[in-house]
Structure 1
Amino acid sequence: MATNETLRSAKRELRAAVAKRLDALDTESVREQSRVVLSLLTSLPEYRQAQRISIYLSMPTGEVDTTAIVQDAFGQGKRVFIPFTHKAMPAPTQGEDQKPSVMDMVSLDSPEDYQGLKRNSWGIPTPTKKSLETRENCIDELRAGKAGLDLIVMPGVAFDGGGRRLGHGKGYYDYFLRRYSEEAGGKVPFTGPYNQVIKFQDNTEISEFIVGVALKDQFLDPPANVPVGDKDWPLDVIIVGDGSVVRR
């Protein structure tokens, strides 16, 4: 098994390599690939069944644009949650897992609410701290015994056919999923009401569902793979801008 420093070095090298690919992408390519991803995602039975979904809000460049996904989710009457990153409160019992900042998923109330968000330093539409007073927090709801998330749409820097994902290095999503799993009794987002499993017409069951969306330039062709550690969460499905749907 790779040492921590070896793993960190491998991840840094892959981020740099993918960044070069993305720098060469033109706007029209990203736009077309984002349209392909939207079509494939919205055709998935897991997406159609989901009522409460988390969707990352995209940067202006270098990743799948999720604007149309947010619009479709509202059009389908789904409850939408988006990431909000903030300074963590001290929690001595968490030991080395304690993070200086953490990500929560908070409610996005309407298309108009989305249009009113201001962009942060990364160019990502972000809710204000003041608005959190009226937004639902999915982990707070879990603690209160209410519904969790059905499905998460996750970003990343690189992905591979084994469902592995490389993030930007802050560990926000991996740490969020660990916190979520603890509050949900070991489960992660799944399609169906909280603490239940949904059964489709063909009698297949889905107990959890996490979707990564990738530009084709972010997806590694075999035998290349994403270096991961024991705290890196795998994805159930990766949808790629070249029209591929890769299930783990």
Structure 2
Amino acid sequence: MRPYRDAKRVSVFLSMPAGEIQTGAIVRHALASGKEVFVPYLHRNPLPSPDLPGRVMDMVRLRDLQDYESLQPDRWGIPSVDPSTVYERQRVLAGPDAHHSDRVVLDLILVPGVAFDISPETGAIRRLGHGKGFYDYFIDRHRAKAASLGLEERTLLYGLALSEQFLSSPSEGSVPEGSHDQRLHGLILGNGDIKTPSGKS
């Protein structure tokens, strides 16, 4: 897929042991291909406010394959970055540091979801997340950072899903869309199909 081939910096979610598409092979391939690979890290919001979530997500860079394989599973079985190493790593939403994190903008963000569909009215690919808003808030902040660097058109958003998570007809249900939901540039299914906003595979 060209958006993946062309991407230098890729964000990949790390999978639960079951119930969603497995991303380990993508992480390994991206690292072996010389891409900079970033994975999610949840932390307390440094700007507490009743209008903002208490916990937010950033993306932190994996050093290499050995670093990835050393990650330990959290209580949900998801490989997780050791919090004690976070400040040694390049981070997407961090400020200036030794790794020049203030200049980092992602080329491709691969996002998870519970369900996906294509709006019959607009042709947009819609995503239903797990309800915490971590990705929507992260993408919104990332977009603002990219705009400040003059790179707002650079980042592509693609969903990754099992074929069973794609609602292909209204009889299977539909994905609700809120004002903060982020629309996707494409959706990649486990059977190899790639859906586009126009609804063409």
Shared fold by TM > 0.5?
Answer: yes
Contact 2:106 2:155 in 1 (8 A): no
Tell me the residue number matched to 1:240.
Answer: 189
Contact 1:141 1:147 in 2 (8 A): no
Tell me the residue number matched to 1:208.
Answer: 155
Any stretches of 5+ residues in structure 2 without a counterpart? 119-123
Q: Which has the larger radius of gyration?
A: 1
Return structure 1 stretches of 4+ with deviation > 4 angstroms.
141-145
The partner residue of 1:147 within 98, 104, 117 is 104
Q: Which has the higher contact order (CA 8 A, sep 6+)?
A: 1
Q: Compute the TM-score of the two structures, normalised by the length of structure 1.
A: 0.70
In 1, Cα distance between equivalents of 2:87 and 2:103: 18
1:112-123 maps to which residues of 2 (within 5 A)? Answer: 112-123=66-77
Partner SS for 1:90: coil
Tell me the residue number matched to 1:30.
Answer: none
Question: How many equivalent pairs are there?
Answer: 187
Report how far residue 141 of structure 1 moved: 5.7
The partner residue of 2:175 within 222, 226, 231 is 226
Report how far residue 185 of structure 1 moved: 1.9
Structural RMSD (CA):
2.0
The partner residue of 2:138 within 176, 182, 188 is 176
**1:89 is aligned to 2:89:** no
In 2, Cα distance between equivalents of 1:152 and 1:75: 18
Per-residue CA deviation, residues 49-92 of structure 1 (Å, 9 max, x unaligned), is 10001000000000110000000001110000000011112344
Contact 1:86 1:102 in 2 (8 A): yes
Structure 1 residues 75 and 195, CA, compared in 2 at 3 Å: closer, same or farther? farther
Report how far residue 145 of structure 1 moved: 4.8
Structure 1 residues 135 and 207, CA, compared in 2 at 3 Å: closer, same or farther? closer
Range that drifts further, 211-220 or 223-232 = 223-232
In 2, Cα distance between equivalents of 1:207 and 1:81: 16
In 2, Cα distance between equivalents of 1:103 and 1:151: 16
- Name the one with the larger strand percent: 2
Report how far residue 179 of structure 1 moved: 1.3
Report how far residue 207 of structure 1 moved: 3.9
1:1-248 maps to which residues of 2 (within 5 A)? Answer: 44-92=1-49, 96=51, 98-140=52-94, 145-161=102-118, 162-185=124-147, 195-196=150-151, 207-223=154-170, 224-248=173-197
Contact 2:93 2:102 in 1 (8 A): no
Partner SS for 1:71: helix
Identity of aligned residues (%): 40
Any stretches of 5+ residues in structure 1 without a counterpart? 1-43, 187-193, 198-205
Per-residue CA deviation, residues 123-161 of structure 1 (Å, 9 max, x unaligned), is 100011101121111112689651310000111110112
In 2, Cα distance between equivalents of 1:145 and 1:221: 40
Letter in 2 for 1:89: P
Tell me the residue number matched to 1:202.
Answer: none
- Name the one with the larger helix percent: 1
Partner SS for 2:67: helix
Letter in 1 for 2:21: V
Per-residue CA deviation, residues 33-58 of structure 1 (Å, 9 max, x unaligned), is xxxxxxxxxxx111101000100000
Structure 1 residues 208 and 90, CA, compared in 2 at 3 Å: closer, same or farther? closer
Tell me the residue number matched to 2:121.
Answer: none
